[in-house]
A and B are shown apart, each in its own frame.
Chain A
């Protein structure tokens, strides 16, 4: 898999945004619907939004410079013991660097221009639960540090090795533990090894006519064990639930031994649920090896949709009403105007005059006839799933509510494109980096009544902080409401700016991101909805869960892992 993926950016090697010889933007590869298409208005959007220009380019170095990589220091006795277990391992520099990071901006920046101070000394590939047990035993015996590695898509600095770690760091790559062990059609559960990647899991289940329905935006690369370790959330959680709703049973290997339950039941009252010590533990307690997860028959029918609202306020009010009536489709997302325009800029060249005529007509109808201001309006994208009949019924109910809030149906195609973009958008950062534009996303959850205030204030805070920190061009500061709940919503922010003229862009970026997080907390938002804490957001943990709360988590860690074998220093 490492062969297929970029070493210094997001996703597949063959998929990326480029500017072709004509200076037009294009997305390469055949993996996505956007692949091979020309995006005629994208260049202009980039120039207008960021003040970036094609003349000012920075390039990443082409490959890793092996000499820069910190040497692998591994105790000989441990190596002998490891070889005796026949578990495959590597001390190769590229293998180790590949597992030394997630996808935070500063990590990618280091890959492009510098080197990590500390990386794993050795990578091991267990192929089953028993292998993991052996590795953890060896680590305890030789006092090593283990950092579990799944898909490597962390955006919380969770995979970064603590610089001050003197012990040998073992990167435990779960990717070879990727089998579905069994499927139980009567109870609709499947027992799966934790290293399986999201898209493989869905593909293999689909062969038997099932799915988990868990689709985080990173599902092409992230792993089941990673989902459990970070309390992941999927796009279609309205039907299938978040990871904590999906999981029936977890097996985890800790320095104390194996933790699991004695049965696979929907619910039990046996004190605090031990699963909740594991979910969100971010690799600090042990390695999740096997997970029994709920499955569902693959839905008969899927339909995308979209609705245009005159402004963001009306859109949020509509989503709130949908949540209130508990009729949210599998997914419902509301993007603000900036993101709507961004999506617009990523529209591929239309093939026929007829389509472009139709587009023009639509635009005319919405802006002129209905009086929507193209600089204020916003769009909700929808995904319905289930029986055909029920989907259509459901669709009508949702569109009826939308109408009450001034919404206009804007077609299936726009909806589908919106969801496709969430996979593609991650590739954009690599393009931006080539042209002095850096950016990142972050998320939070917030009660309904504070959604609007939080969105407005955080966006404004970002703009102000940029100005204060000497960023010369106004930043892109945009948000979308991506999940609805009974009591609130999940809000996702994108933030990017042109850093020309700034000597230490990553530092400036981090200061601004920190200010934005402060703003979120001051507005009653959470520290994280699904990205997790890692090392990036640790400083706010005490404030988030109180001193005593933190103490409770610490005491669990102390019991389970007294010698800090799982020493990635996340969370606590």
Chain B
């Protein structure tokens, strides 16, 4: 029976992947055309646009309802009332007091969408966007598909998150296309938006609702929040929008998904309160990210400025700058029903009243996680990449300076490779490589400069200043540049990890290469996006793509790099070298330098200064190891590899290192990694 169960579950996974691949083929066949929505804005009156007759397309089963009626419906719902009674009993308090508390939560959280505010935004955002961006390009077909989807079933919009602009832009877009405006789950950190009174209120009126970043253990909050979201979903009140990544990715690399909100929006379908739910992956890519330098500072541990209203006003300075083009790709709506067919055991939901809070079964949790990863993979697949992304990737392998002509040549070469790997590059047909690089350099003058026919990083002021400052400035420039290269990584990760594994094992035996690949995939599973549990399939895909570009040849048991393939293989492994080396540095720090138990707050500065010193002494060139993002991911990797124990104490997590285990992992890196000087790896 065990064997039977395994085959059954394998069948399910393959059905799931089949659904995925079907969609993949569709997008591969034909890329949608893009339309610039700012073009019309530049030609006609913004005011008239803001005051236009707005009769959005809405869900066919919509039962109309005002924001306040919604709140009281949530408060009176069986779900919330049950938790209130339960808590009242446990804490010996009167239900009224807890009800009051629930009301406060709702008020803190709830949106109050008003057409007036929407029009205000339509007007000001038109002005601002025209100022900031050259073009805002949208795939029209995606908008049409979305329009159908919104009428048919409740819709959940799942955009990628790179900037605060994301949700403003998405609402703006839906307004432009006469679609129902989404309600947006925005996180409240300690001093995020809600701190900004005016803007916060305006956002509320534009349809944002706020959730606390962490409400671990607060059952009332969870119940109220979940019910609020589900009530909106069930009634088809408006499309619900949230970010699977949970927060803005500071590195432009897709963050591993958070499951909480996703499982909330999926529940009405599991309980068959709705017939189906559409999940719509949306990829928003910026030619230049508004917050790019802010992010770099943040990653290096310089505290980010508070998002206060006055801070935002200062940001006006930014308005004079040029941020290039935005591409928004609205993906094919994915039917949750189709994804779930055959995968969900219905019994658990039939045997408990539907309003009782129920911990999702393991099956369900696994399914939610699979869907989350699938959606992120779709986001990645549809993400438009600008030529600059290629330039950044080449440049980072050729520091400190690279001949312009060579850079252009390599950029063109990388373009071909990226397209072979399924990357979605927006490169006009008649654009020559030199022009593409040039225009990138113009837009990103703060990152790189053309000096005497050579392209160098813009780390001005490095010459004068203490050693520490030089390191910091270089790190800043490198991290900013890396943000653009990072956009390629998830497209490249499978073939590249095969390439890395080939170099690490120095073996041609498929089995050995695969086990190394599998190890790397495991280590980097918080760094890159892998569909859970299909290591072999990922490996095969990596090999397939490498074969496709003639980099390797495979037989039943063996993998050989071809003669001309060595260029590709070393480029690919060099692309991921910062991660391999960075992780090694961080692991080394953990294996030697730390006390027994520590918190994340202690860990990040500790490892930072460790890496900083190595950089100062010139013992490493791995500037990216300074990134707190990489540091946290590396720590998380050790946790899931079992080399570090994570424990929850009061309101913090503490970590315990098992030195022996970390050393063993380091050995797996060290013993096999060929010692290569950075120069040797260059193209």
B347 to chain A: closest residue by CB: A543
Whole-angstrom CA separation of A5 from B275 in the bound complex:
42
Contact with A along B249-278 (1 / 0, CB 8 A): 000000000000000000000001101000
B227 to chain A, nearest CB (A): 16
Q: Chain B 344-381 against A: per-residue CB contact (8 Å), 1 yes, 0 no?
A: 00110110011000000000000000000000000000
In angstroms, Cα B354 to Cα A454, docked, is 13
Tell whether, in the assembled complex, residue B346 and residue A453 are in contact, meaning their CB atoms are under 8 Å apart.
no
Q: For residue B194, give the distance in angstroms from its CB to the closest CB of chain A.
A: 36
* A453 partner, pick from B272, B347, B353, beta carbons under 8 A: B272
| CB pair B272 A457 closer than 8 Å | yes
Chain B residues with CB under 8 A of A453: 272-273
Interface string of A517-529 (1 = CB under 8 A from B): 0000111100000
Q: Are B349 and A457 in contact (CB under 8 A)?
A: no
Within the complex, the shortest CB–CB distance from B350 to chain A, in Å, comes to 4
Quick check: A524 and B272 within 8 Å, CB to CB?
yes
**Roughly how many angstroms separate A543 CA and B345 CA in the complex, as a whole number?**
10
Cα A434 to Cα B353 with chains together (Å)? 46
Chain A residue at minimal CB-CB distance from B276: A460
Q: Which residues of A contact B347 (CB under 8 A)?
A: 543
Measured as residues with beta carbon below 8 angstroms from the partner, the interface class of chain B is: under 10
Select one of A454, A461, A524 contacting B349, CB under 8 A: A524
Known: A521-B346, A522-B346. Is A449-B272 also a contact (CB below 8 A)? Answer: no
Residues of A440-491 contacting chain B, CB below 8 A: 449-450, 453-454, 456-457, 460-461
Q: How distant is the Cα of A75 from the Cα of B608 in the complex, in angstroms?
A: 93
Looking at the assembled complex, report how far the CB atom of B132 sits from the nearest CB atom of chain A, in whole angstroms: 44
A45-88 residues with Cβ-Cβ distance < 8 A to B are none
Residues of A within 8 A of B354 (CB): 449-450
Question: Counting chain B CB atoms within 10 Å of each CB, which of A454, A457, A460, A543 scores highest?
Answer: A457
In the bound assembly, the distance between CA atoms of A40 and B459 in angstroms comes to 88
Whole-angstrom CA separation of A2 from B273 in the bound complex: 48
A487 to chain B, nearest CB (A): 11
Asked if B346 and A456 sit within 8 Å, CB to CB, the answer is no
Let me know if B353 and A522 touch, CB within 8 A: no
Residue of A nearest to B353 (CB): A449
Which residues of B are found within 8 Å of A449, using beta-carbon distances?
353-354
Q: Classify the secondary structure of A's interface with B.
A: helix
Closest CB in chain A relative to B64 CB, distance in Å: 15
Closest to A521 in B: B346
Give the distance to chain A from B634, nearest Cβ to Cβ, in Å. Answer: 43
Flag if B275 contacts A454 (CB, 8 Å).
no
Q: Which residues of B contact A457 (CB under 8 A)?
A: 272, 275
Residues of B near A456 (CB, < 8 A) are 275
* Interface members, chain A 501-559 (any B CB < 8 Å): 521-524, 543
Chain B nearest CB, measured from A182 CB (Å): 45
How far apart are the CA atoms of A524 and B351 in the complex, in Å?
A: 8
- The CA-CA distance from A450 to B349 in the complex, in Å, is 11
Complex interface: chain B residues within 8 A of A461 (CB): 275
Asked if residues B353 and A523 are in contact (CB atoms below 8 Å), the reply is: no
**Chain A residues with Cβ under 8 A from B275's Cβ?**
456-457, 460-461
Q: Are B350 and A524 in contact (CB under 8 A)?
A: yes
CB distance from B364 to the nearest CB of A (A): 14
**Min CB–CB distance A373 → chain B (angstroms):** 15
Docked CA distance A450–B347 (Å): 14
Q: Could you say which residues of chain B place their CB within 8 Å of the CB of A523?
A: 272
Cα(A471)–Cα(B354), bound, Å: 35
Residue on B with the closest CB to A313? B63
- In this complex, what residue of A is CB-closest to B268? A453
Q: Is the pair A454, B346 in contact by a Cβ cutoff of 8 Å?
A: no
Instruction: Say how far A450's CB is from chain B's closest CB, in angstroms.
Output: 7
Min C-beta distance of A21 to chain B, whole Å: 43
A543 to B354, CA, bound (A): 20
Q: Which residues of chain B are near A460, meaning CB under 8 Å? A: 275
Contacts of B346 in A (CB 8 A): 521-522, 524
CB within 8 Å of B: which A214-238 residues: none
Instruction: Note all chain A residues with C-beta closer than 8 A to B353.
Output: 449
Smallest CB-CB separation from B355: which chain A residue? A449
Bound together, the chains give a CA A523 to CA B353 distance in angstroms of 12
Alpha-carbon distance between A543 and B353 when the two chains are bound, in angstroms = 19
Nearest to B63 among chain A residues (CB) is: A313
Q: Which residues of chain A have C-beta atoms less than 8 A from B350's C-beta?
A: 524
Shortest CB distance A479–B (Å)? 15
Contacts of A450 in B (CB 8 A): 272, 354
Least CB distance from A324 to B in Å reads 16
Instruction: Name the distance in Å between B661's Cβ and chain A's nearest Cβ.
Output: 42
Report the minimal beta-carbon distance from A203 to chain B, rounded to whole angstroms: 42
Min Cβ gap A334→B in Å is 20
Q: For the complex, give the distance between the alpha carbons of A405 and B479 in Å.
A: 65
Give the docked Cα–Cα distance between A456 and B350 (Å).
17
A62 to chain B, nearest CB (A): 45
Instruction: Give, as a whole number of angstroms, the nearest-CB distance from B140 to chain A.
Output: 26
Which residues from B are CB-within-8-Å of A454?
272
Q: Which residues of B have CB within 8 Å of A524?
A: 272, 346, 349-350
Give Cα distance in the complex from A460 to B276, angstroms: 10
Q: Chain A CB within 10 Å — which of B273, B275, B347, B354 has the most?
A: B275
B342 to chain A, nearest CB (A): 10
What distance in Å separates the Cβ of A527 from its nearest Cβ neighbour in chain B? 12
Query: How far is it, in angstroms, between the C-alpha of A461 and the C-alpha of B272 when the chains are bound?
Result: 12
C-alpha gap A50/B275 in the complex (Å): 24
CA distance A456 to B153 in the complex (A): 13
Instruction: Please name all residues of chain A whose beta carbon is closer than 8 Å to the beta carbon of B273 when the two chains form the complex.
Output: 453
In whole angstroms, what is the CA distance A453 to B350 when docked? 13
Report the minimal beta-carbon distance from B454 to chain A, rounded to whole angstroms: 61
CA distance A454 to B346 in the complex (A): 14
List B residues 319-359 near A (Cβ within 8 Å). Answer: 346-347, 349-350, 353-354
Q: How far is the CA of A460 from the CA of B346 in the complex (A)?
A: 19
Chain B, Cβ-Cβ closest to A519: B272
* Shortest beta-carbon distance from A459 to chain B in Å: 9
Q: Cα distance A524–B352 when bound, in Å?
A: 10
A522 to B272, CA, bound (A): 7
- State A502–B674 Cα separation when bound (angstroms): 65
> A526 — nearest CB in chain B belongs to which residue?
B350
User: CA–CA, A543 to B348, complex, Å?
Assistant: 12
* Distance (whole angstroms) from the CB of A247 to the closest CB of chain B: 29
A65 to chain B, nearest CB (A): 43
| Chain A positions within 8 Å of B272 at CB level | 450, 453-454, 457, 522-524
Across the interface, name the chain B residue whose C-beta is closest to A461. B275
Q: Shortest CB–CB separation between residue A429 and chain B, in angstroms? A: 28
Closest Cβ of chain B to A544, distance in Å, is 10
Nearest CB of B to A35, in Å: 41
> In the complex the two chains form, what is the Cα distance from A460 to B275 in whole Å?
8
B349 partner residues in chain A, CB cutoff 8 A: 524
Assembled-state Cα–Cα distance A53/B572 (Å) = 66
The distance from the CB of B15 to the nearest CB of chain A, in whole angstroms, is: 15
B272 and chain A: residue at smallest CB distance: A523
**Which residue of chain B is the closest to A446 with respect to CB atoms?**
B350
Q: Give the distance in Å from the alpha carbon of A456 to the alpha carbon of B347 in the complex.
A: 20
CB of A511, distance to nearest CB on chain B (Å): 14
State the CA gap A456–B349 with chains docked (Å).
18
| Chain A nearest Cβ from B354, distance in angstroms | 7
CB-based nearest B residue for A454: B272
Task: Point out which of A456, A521, A524, A543 has the most chain B C-beta atoms below 10 A from its C-beta.
Answer: A524
* Chain B: CB-nearest residue to A524: B350
* Min CB–CB distance A524 → chain B (angstroms): 4
Chain B residues 484 to 524 lying within 8 A of chain A, measured CB to CB, are none
Render B264-306 as a binary contact track against A, CB cut-off 8 A, 1 for contact: 0000000011010000000000000000000000000000000
A340-B354 Cα distance, complex, nearest whole Å: 31
Known interface pairs A523-B272, A524-B346, A543-B347; 8 further A-B residue pairs with C-beta atoms within 8 A, sorted by A's residue number: A449-B353, A450-B354, A453-B272, A456-B275, A457-B272, A457-B275, A522-B272, A524-B349
Residues of chain A at the chain B interface (Cβ within 8 Å): 449-450, 453-454, 456-457, 460-461, 521-524, 543
Q: List 11 A-B contacts (CB under 8 A).
A: A449-B353, A450-B354, A453-B272, A453-B273, A454-B272, A457-B275, A521-B346, A522-B272, A523-B272, A524-B272, A543-B347
